Chains A and B, each alone.
Chain A
Amino acid sequence: MNDIQEPVLVCKDLCISYYTRAGEIPAVVDFSLTVKPGETIGIVGESGCGKSTVAMAIMQYMGANGGIKSGSITFKGRDLTTLNENELRSIRGSEISMIYQEPFASLNPSLKISTQLMEVPLAHENISKEEARKRSVQMLEDVKLPDPERVMESYPHQLSGGQQQRVVIAMGLLSKPSLLLLDEPTTALDVTVEAGIVKLVGDISKKFGTSQIYISHNLGLILETCDRVFVMYSGEVVEEGTINSLFTWPKHPYTHGLFSCIPLPTTDKNAAPLKPIRGQLPLPFERPPGCYFGPRCDHFKKGLCDKGHFRMENVEGSALDHRVRCLRYKDIDHTKILSPETVRESLEIGKRVLNVDGMKKYYEVKDSSFMAMITGKNTQFVKANEELNFTAHESETVAIVGESGCGKSTFAKVLMGLETGTDGEIRHKGKDISDIEVRDRSTKQIRSLQMVFQNPFDTLNPSHSIGGQISRVIRQFGIETDKKKIFNRVMKLLDTVKLPRDFYFRKPRQLSGGQKQRIGIARAFAGNPSIVIADEPVSALDVSVAAAVTELLMDIQRKHKTTLLFISHDLSVVRYLADRIVVMYLGHILERGTTEEIFAPPYHPYTEALLSAVPIADPEITKRRIVLEGDLPSAMDPPKGCPFCTRCHRKIGDICDNELPRETLVKDRHVIKCHIPIQELSKIEPVIRMPEESERIHVQ
């Protein structure tokens, strides 16, 4: 970085508050930040830490009840807090622009893309419509959208999520801003799409020399995209530094905590269990005196950490811009924090409980188009699941991995009996259940097959108490009938999921997301199920909460010897907790095997791309970059040959387009479905490369 250059943005001692009926709520406290030209700053933290508030403050879009209490935001020498609406408007969208979390919501549903793009240069520059259109098309090309003319004439709902986000990025870059704010730009997207967007944003801002502020909860993503990073906790920056110094030598206990909450693809659930941060993020008006992280910190010292307000200070012996807000960072033995405390024994895998054999699920779709009416071919099939074969054993965790639309949730539905399979068998303890609907299943069958759902916020009935909802399950399953015994059982379940017993009387709205998910787990385990399907159980939760819930799920599984079917799109989590992995794409299983087999060559090319797309929060790991082109094909009209042939980077020729590859056995229970011979796939270098233990600087 060139230090002589004028900074693009300087935030100095910024304090932002919201004013509500309950009084003033400080959202961001004492925030200072300098962005140099061309630099990418990351802001990372859990929800509610104030990272989005900072972005909105820079945009000067605070809503009616928010305000900057003190401090300044200087953009190219002008203090944004003093500008009037007109002056702000000339800066917004032209010099500072923003990219949002949900591309679909931030595009106007009733206007064509062309209108929404062209109005940006038309509003800021004195140019003709033709010129604006030309520039928009050019920008759509720059963001690598195929057929920009067609995109221009489309409405937002006619584009896929990844395409929409590219349009939003094009919109943000149209006027060549000097600062780009990205608020969780890829959180709503699939990993392979995310990888494409991340690369695009990086390339484009290099091309235009744009500075970026990248807001994310994903440490791995920050590592891949940013030059410097700010870690925020409860409205404060607790640590800042360059990517290298902060990721290699984190100093603040909260930063340490975050790192031990995220599963790395290098760690193992038994050798290095996740270490969740205890307690909860304090609400803004419940912040403790002194260090806000104090009550959750292992190094809290009474009389020192609970007094006054601390300022950021430079870390001794580290880079100049590595600063931390902690009085005790010098006293903490940083090597000790990182080494795992407990090592768990791996579980003995028991007998086979689930056998999926040639399971197919087709949905019939009535085509109401005019052509279909004429030709009479008005039923089409969505092939959601095509020939699924795999097995699961007692105490085993089998992860089903794939991007949205790959059919993993459909499989869960069939297994649960919410849908019936079209063909093939699902044998649970020897009995085919694929075509028995849930209402025709016996209580015993329902009891032994339970599910933990993705979104804990909608799965609990808001008008019943927690105790009532769990008791009902116990009664329905016929485990206990006596009122007293049911109550005791609920209490035991609450203990198991580590929630206080008085939660029995609470209503769901009084619980946080993580607590609700614990209730979801308690409910699923109420009848000692033999198989539990967890459909992305932690993807809606913050990292530290997710770590705790993941650990809990595994603990209960160990105790009950349950088979866990873990549905996820996140390969880091999967690597951490699964024994076996099933990789799905467009309804097909492309590869299955043990976790070690999946994570090492020979890979299926799709597995290879998935592995490459996972952001890893470890600066010493190097990855081969494989960015997939295009979008997932529609399940209504899948490719004729290999389902992956339209996006495959290792396509070998016509055979891929025309013939469905067979399952090839690599070795015992490791199967790949690809036309490329296994010998050749074995020669591929590993995607993720870890340095040898002796070469590592990072203590782990």
Chain B
Amino acid sequence: MVLLLLKRIGFMFFTMIVVSIILFMLLETGLTGDPATRVLGNFASDAQKESWRNQHGYNQPVVVRYAKWLGNFATGNLGTSIRYKGPVKDVLLPRLWNTAILGFWTFAIMIPLSLILGVLSGMKEGSLLDRSISIFGILTTSVPEFASAVFFSALFVFGLKWLPGTSSMSGGFEFKQLILPAMVLVVYDFGYVARMTRASMAEVMQSQYVRSAILKGLPYRQVIIRHALRNALIAPFTVIMLQINWLLSGVIVVEFFFAYKGFGALLLEASLNNDIVLLEACAMVAVVVAVGSQTIADIGYTFLNPRIRFT
């Protein structure tokens, strides 16, 4: 068990190093264009570029630069943002926090809802509940976020006038502003997780061990909770862990639509503005979260599935 843990964590660091090398190659070397040009613009003179390079240490050998760069990241020194003219840390952390809040509420509503409904419909395959959840799930998942965002805005902002139309939180944190973006995300993601849960539960319900649990004369509740659920939750667990990445950097549309100052929007801004330093920091954070959540998923697996734990 300890060995498995060590292996997973080792592998996590390995992945991060590999990704950092790729990132460094792409942004900091001449591989995809001169960084100096990228930062200073197309009209900068060669002399300006040269002095920028000297100033920022770009004339050192690549290996040395990479080591320094990585060292800076490891010690939490994320550098200075070119566009925001301040430490990247000060820009990044509030955005990350905002995304965490949005993600938390999305998950807090979406996970229980889709798991419970998915399990219920998987228990009775083909029932009315099952079919309505399936159809509803397909419907919501197939409507893109921008469409549902427009729809919900029209309904709750302009029609009923219950909720504010933007979520920029300019006057400090306000829960009301969080409702609409979270709702759009929940609706979009619900169908995916619920259908996955349903399929997994339905398969488990057909399995011979559930049959033998029923024929052992166990109460139905016990059959479901003890015998079926644990095995049925393995697949949705993977899916849910993957949703963390999506929430971090894949919900740019929603963040833009509601002017929500989240991490995805920051990532987009950084790349549009050629803010290399910020972009690198954002990308590394995204990688750390992605690899971290997968490592947690792998370790979580071993608790759900003893066949992995004891081999």
Q: Which residues of A contact B (CB under 8 A)?
A: 59, 61, 64, 85, 89-94, 97-98, 100, 102, 105-111, 115, 119-120, 123-124, 155, 157-158, 168, 171, 369-370
Give 12 new A-B contacts, CB below 8 A, not counting A93-B215, A110-B231. A61-B215, A89-B218, A91-B217, A92-B216, A93-B216, A107-B209, A110-B230, A119-B226, A123-B218, A124-B217, A158-B310, A171-B216
**Is B207 interfacial (CB-CB < 8 Å)?**
yes
Nearest Cβ on chain A to B13's Cβ, whole angstroms: 18
Question: C-beta contact mask, B148-161 vs A, less than 8 Å → 1, else 0?
Answer: 00000000000000
Q: Closest residue to B307 on the A side, CB-wise?
A: A157
Contact indicator B216/A110 (Cβ below 8 Å)? no
Q: Cβ of A102: which chain B residues have Cβ within 8 Å of it?
A: 208
Which of A64, A97, A105, A370 is the one whose CB lies under 8 Å from B216?
A97
Q: Closest residue to B124 on the A side, CB-wise?
A: A64
Q: Closest residue to B230 on the A side, CB-wise?
A: A110
Contact indicator B306/A155 (Cβ below 8 Å)? yes
**Is B305 interfacial (CB-CB < 8 Å)?**
yes
Q: How distant is the Cα of A44 from the Cα of B38 in the complex, in angstroms?
A: 81
Q: Cβ of A92: which chain B residues have Cβ within 8 Å of it?
A: 214-217
Contact indicator B217/A123 (Cβ below 8 Å)? yes
Q: How distant is the Cα of A107 from the Cα of B219 in the complex, in angstroms?
A: 17
Q: How distant is the Cα of A199 from the Cα of B304 in the complex, in angstroms?
A: 37
**Is B222 interfacial (CB-CB < 8 Å)?**
yes
Q: How distant is the Cα of A123 from the Cα of B214 in the complex, in angstroms?
A: 11
**Is B72 interfacial (CB-CB < 8 Å)?**
no
Nearest Cβ on chain A to B222's Cβ, whole angstroms: 7
Q: How distant is the Cα of A171 from the Cα of B216 in the complex, in angstroms?
A: 8
Q: How distant is the Cα of A91 from the Cα of B217 in the complex, in angstroms?
A: 7
Q: How distant is the Cα of A171 from the Cα of B212 in the complex, in angstroms?
A: 10
Contact indicator A111/B216 (Cβ below 8 Å)? no
Q: Cβ of A64: which chain B residues have Cβ within 8 Å of it?
A: 126
Q: How distant is the Cα of A120 from the Cα of B215 in the complex, in angstroms?
A: 10
Q: Cβ of B217: which chain A residues have Cβ within 8 Å of it?
A: 89-94, 120, 123-124
Q: Cβ of B211: which chain A residues have Cβ within 8 Å of it?
A: 61, 106
Q: Cβ of B126: which chain A residues have Cβ within 8 Å of it?
A: 64
A–B pairs, 23, beta carbons within 8 Å: A64-B126, A92-B215, A93-B216, A94-B217, A98-B215, A102-B208, A107-B212, A108-B227, A109-B209, A109-B231, A109-B305, A110-B230, A110-B304, A110-B307, A111-B230, A115-B226, A155-B306, A155-B307, A157-B310, A158-B310, A168-B212, A171-B216, A369-B3
A106 with B212, Cβ < 8 A, contacts A92-B217, A119-B226, A370-B3 known: yes
Interface centre among B126, B211, B230 (most CB of A within 10 A): B211
Interface size for B (C-beta < 8 A) is: 25
Contact indicator A108/B215 (Cβ below 8 Å)? no
**CB within 8 Å of A: which of B201-252?**
207-209, 211-220, 222, 226-227, 230-231
Nearest Cβ on chain B to A508's Cβ, whole angstroms: 25
Q: Cβ of B208: which chain A residues have Cβ within 8 Å of it?
A: 100, 102, 105-106
Q: Cβ of B306: which chain A residues have Cβ within 8 Å of it?
A: 109-110, 155, 157
Q: Cβ of B212: which chain A residues have Cβ within 8 Å of it?
A: 98, 100, 106-107, 168, 171
Q: Cβ of B310: which chain A residues have Cβ within 8 Å of it?
A: 155, 157-158
Q: Cβ of B231: which chain A residues have Cβ within 8 Å of it?
A: 108-110
Q: Which residues of B contact A (CB under 8 A)?
A: 3, 126, 207-209, 211-220, 222, 226-227, 230-231, 304-307, 310
Q: How distant is the Cα of A106 from the Cα of B220 in the complex, in angstroms?
A: 17
Q: Cβ of B222: which chain A residues have Cβ within 8 Å of it?
A: 119, 123
Nearest Cβ on chain A to B246's Cβ, whole angstroms: 28
Contact indicator A59/B227 (Cβ below 8 Å)? no
Contact indicator A93/B218 (Cβ below 8 Å)? yes
Contact indicator A108/B219 (Cβ below 8 Å)? no
Nearest Cβ on chain A to B1's Cβ, whole angstroms: 10
Q: How distant is the Cα of A448 from the Cα of B222 in the complex, in angstroms?
A: 59
Q: How distant is the Cα of A90 from the Cα of B212 in the complex, in angstroms?
A: 15
Q: How distant is the Cα of A120 from the Cα of B226 in the complex, in angstroms?
A: 13
Q: Cβ of A59: which chain B residues have Cβ within 8 Å of it?
A: 215
Contact indicator B207/A105 (Cβ below 8 Å)? yes
Kindly list the 5 A-B residue pairs having the minimum CB-CB distance in the complex, ordered from nearest.
A93-B217, A93-B216, A92-B217, A105-B208, A106-B212
Contact indicator B216/A119 (Cβ below 8 Å)? yes
Q: Cβ of A120: which chain B residues have Cβ within 8 Å of it?
A: 216-217
Interface centre among A100, A102, A110 (most CB of B within 10 A): A110
Nearest Cβ on chain A to B210's Cβ, whole angstroms: 8
Q: Closest residue to B127 on the A side, CB-wise?
A: A64
Contact indicator A111/B305 (Cβ below 8 Å)? no
Q: Cβ of A110: which chain B residues have Cβ within 8 Å of it?
A: 230-231, 304-307
Contact indicator B209/A105 (Cβ below 8 Å)? yes
Q: How distant is the Cα of A119 from the Cα of B215 in the complex, in angstroms?
A: 12
Interface centre among A108, A158, A370 (most CB of B within 10 A): A108
Contact indicator A119/B305 (Cβ below 8 Å)? no
Which of B209, B218, B230 is the one whose CB lies under 8 Å from A119?
B218
Nearest Cβ on chain B to A95's Cβ, whole angstroms: 9
A97 with B305, Cβ < 8 A, contacts A106-B209, A108-B227, A119-B222 known: no
Q: How distant is the Cα of A447 from the Cα of B231 in the complex, in angstroms?
A: 47
Contact indicator A123/B219 (Cβ below 8 Å)? yes
Q: How distant is the Cα of A89 from the Cα of B214 in the complex, in angstroms?
A: 8
Nearest Cβ on chain B to A178's Cβ, whole angstroms: 14
Q: Cβ of A90: which chain B residues have Cβ within 8 Å of it?
A: 217
Q: Cβ of A119: which chain B residues have Cβ within 8 Å of it?
A: 216, 218, 222, 226
Q: Cβ of B213: which chain A residues have Cβ within 8 Å of it?
A: 108
Q: How distant is the Cα of A64 from the Cα of B214 in the complex, in angstroms?
A: 15
Nearest Cβ on chain B to A98's Cβ, whole angstroms: 5
Contact indicator A89/B219 (Cβ below 8 Å)? yes
Q: Cβ of A91: which chain B residues have Cβ within 8 Å of it?
A: 217
Nearest Cβ on chain B to A97's Cβ, whole angstroms: 7
Q: How distant is the Cα of A50 from the Cα of B230 in the complex, in angstroms?
A: 33
Q: Cβ of B207: which chain A residues have Cβ within 8 Å of it?
A: 105
Nearest Cβ on chain B to A160's Cβ, whole angstroms: 15
Contact indicator A61/B216 (Cβ below 8 Å)? no
Contact indicator A109/B216 (Cβ below 8 Å)? no
Nearest Cβ on chain B to A321's Cβ, whole angstroms: 29
Q: Closest residue to B209 on the A side, CB-wise?
A: A108
Nearest Cβ on chain B to A127's Cβ, whole angstroms: 15
Interface centre among B211, B215, B218, B231 (most CB of A within 10 A): B215
Q: How distant is the Cα of A45 from the Cα of B222 in the complex, in angstroms?
A: 36
Q: Cβ of B209: which chain A residues have Cβ within 8 Å of it?
A: 105-109
Q: Cβ of B218: which chain A residues have Cβ within 8 Å of it?
A: 89, 93, 119, 123
Nearest Cβ on chain A to B229's Cβ, whole angstroms: 10
Interface centre among B214, B216, B218 (most CB of A within 10 A): B216
Q: How distant is the Cα of A91 from the Cα of B215 in the complex, in angstroms?
A: 9
Nearest Cβ on chain A to B3's Cβ, whole angstroms: 5
Nearest Cβ on chain A to B201's Cβ, whole angstroms: 14
Q: How distant is the Cα of A59 from the Cα of B305 in the complex, in angstroms?
A: 30
Q: How distant is the Cα of A92 from the Cα of B213 in the complex, in angstroms?
A: 10
Q: Closest residue to A60 on the B side, CB-wise?
A: B215
Q: Cβ of B220: which chain A residues have Cβ within 8 Å of it?
A: 85
Q: How distant is the Cα of A107 from the Cα of B213 in the complex, in angstroms?
A: 9
Q: Cβ of A89: which chain B residues have Cβ within 8 Å of it?
A: 217-219
A123 with B305, Cβ < 8 A, contacts A108-B209, A108-B227, A158-B310 known: no
Contact indicator A109/B307 (Cβ below 8 Å)? yes
Q: Closest residue to A101 on the B side, CB-wise?
A: B208
Nearest Cβ on chain B to A153's Cβ, whole angstroms: 11
Q: Cβ of A98: which chain B residues have Cβ within 8 Å of it?
A: 212, 215
Q: Closest residue to A124 on the B side, CB-wise?
A: B217
Q: Cβ of B226: which chain A residues have Cβ within 8 Å of it?
A: 111, 115, 119
Q: Cβ of A109: which chain B residues have Cβ within 8 Å of it?
A: 209, 231, 305-307
Contact indicator A61/B214 (Cβ below 8 Å)? yes
Q: How distant is the Cα of A49 from the Cα of B272 in the complex, in angstroms?
A: 70
Q: Cβ of A168: which chain B residues have Cβ within 8 Å of it?
A: 212
Nearest Cβ on chain B to A172's Cβ, whole angstroms: 9
Nearest Cβ on chain A to B279's Cβ, whole angstroms: 39
Q: How distant is the Cα of A115 from the Cα of B225 in the complex, in angstroms?
A: 13
Q: How distant is the Cα of A423 from the Cα of B145 in the complex, in angstroms?
A: 64
Q: Closest residue to A112 on the B side, CB-wise?
A: B306
